Amino acid sequence: MWPGGVTGKTFTELKRYFPSSTRQDTHGAVWPQHEGARRVPLPDEAASLPRCPPLSPAGQWSPRTQPPPPAVGQPARPGRRLLPDGGPLPQGKVVVTGGGGYFGFRLGRELASQGMSVVLLDMNKLPCETPDGAVFYQRDIRDYASLYKVCEGVDCVFHTASYGMSGPEQLRKEQVESINVGGTNNVIKVCKERGIPRLVYTSTINVVFAGKPIVEGDEASVPFVPPNTHIDHYSRTKAIAEQMVLSANGCFLKGGGLLRTCILRPCGIYGPEERRHLHRVMVNVERRLFSFRFGDPQARMNWVHVDNLVQAHALAAEALALQRSCVASGQAYFINDGVSVNLFEWLTPLFETLGHSRPLMNLPVSLVYSAAILVEYLHVVLRPVIGVPLLFTRSEVRSIAVSHTFKIDKARRELGYCPKPYSLLDSVEQYLKSRRPRSRSVLFSMSWTSQLPRHLLAVMLLGLSLLMLMLSCMVTSN
């Protein structure tokens, strides 16, 4: 079986996604190894990850890369924003997969504003108008032919596209797998066939977190979690995809040169116009479903503002270039705001803005986790009939209840990453201003009344789950 028993398929059935060769680490997990790649250390060998050697003798600049940086004391070309270390952003043509998503769009917009030619690629339409300096193609990364077509003349790919990070999406295993693993395999193949020398992959901290506490972990000390230990398919497939990208580092490109890859592992993203985390929490608060807390009151986690994450990606691409001696080649970096917070304390401005007090009732984690199992089961079984709302999934319960914080020293040191301080309150206020007012309750909307039997059944099931929670609380308190 492929690690974690991916949707119950055999390794043979999944070989269409993966390279033809694999290796096994000391934990017994099987990892991909791309043909033509130099040997890339396994996760438990991360401390000795090699740097990519120069593609040409010192002082010679490849036409596929940018011109040499200005001499010391010489200003950069007008109109180019300087990175924190004083060097200019790399210019050229880049592709951003997942360019219709919140982060991918912000990344593409920022790169375009700095003079790059940007191709935004997404299976969904853009949330707003295409930024100046960018073009948008509505394409699916699982379609190799269309992906290959739009990547002509590209210097760098930012692979941010993924599926199943949170909510109901986590339970759609086949789609999670085909996008996160199959799509990533296509991206790597296109990079090799098109001669694209740089690939920056947006991973997740979930690849090293599987429910056990991590306090101020770093890239060298935190062990990589074998995919079969993950309870959610998103984390499992992202772990596989991350290793595919790392194993592709050093692959020979068609037409000459080597592929340089690096990994960024962000935590939860917030910022203005963010709709995934912020919207979901606010809706549940307004429905009074977020009226309890659980887990260790001292549990802490990291978050990252979207602008800081954009900065990290621009720096990572620059650190894969020859001017920086490919310092990021074959490397992974944790990315966050540089501070750790307790989720319920961090969300206090949100509760206060909505006129609610923060949750005070503390429930046992085992109780909330059991309820999450039940609701997940009902969501999957009844999906053809009704949509059962998910307050938390099992993996989300575990992420909230258990401390997992990470240092960003390596990103500061090697990439020049310097996160700016941001406030969640600013994002909350901007979100409330941009949210469309609802003129009437959904209880009386036409969409509700036309599907009344299905909605009533959903309410009954949700009420049953909440009743079980209340009864369990009473038993626990007695």
Catalytic residues: 234
Nearest to 207 by CA among 244, 260, 159, 178: 244
Strand partners, 8: none
CA distances to 151, 201, 250 from 55, in Å: 22, 21, 10
Q: Are 393 and 202 in contact (CB under 8 A)?
A: no
CA distances to 2, 3, 225 from 11, in Å: 5, 9, 19
Q: Can you give the three-state secondary structure of 22-91, one letter per residue?
A: EEECCCCCEEEECCCCCCCCCHHHHHHCCCCCCCCCCCCCCCCCCCCCCCCCCCCCCCCCECCCCCECCC
The total of other beta-carbon atoms located within 10 Å of residue 217's CB is: 18
The total of other beta-carbon atoms located within 10 Å of residue 259's CB is: 26
Strand partners, 361: 292
What distance, in Å, lies between the first and last C-alpha atoms of the chain?
Answer: 47
Nearest to 223 by CA among 412, 29, 402: 29
Nearest to 118 by CA among 87, 144, 145, 89: 89
Alpha helices in 167-294 (DSSP H): 173-177, 184-194, 233-248, 277-286
Strand partners, 110: none
Q: What is the DSSP string of 289-343?
A: ---EEES-TT--EEEEEHHHHHHHHHHHHHHTSGGGTTTTTTEEEEES-S-EE-H
d(CA 304, CA 334): 10
DSSP helix/strand/coil, 181: helix
Q: Tokens 């600049």, residue?
A: 61
d(CA 100, CA 82): 26
Q: Are 99 and 150 in contact (CB under 8 A)?
A: no
Q: What is the DSSP string of 342-387?
A: -HHHHTHHHHHHTT-PPP-EEE-HHHHHHHHHHHHHHHHHSTTT--
The pairing of beta strand 301-305 with beta strand 340-341: antiparallel
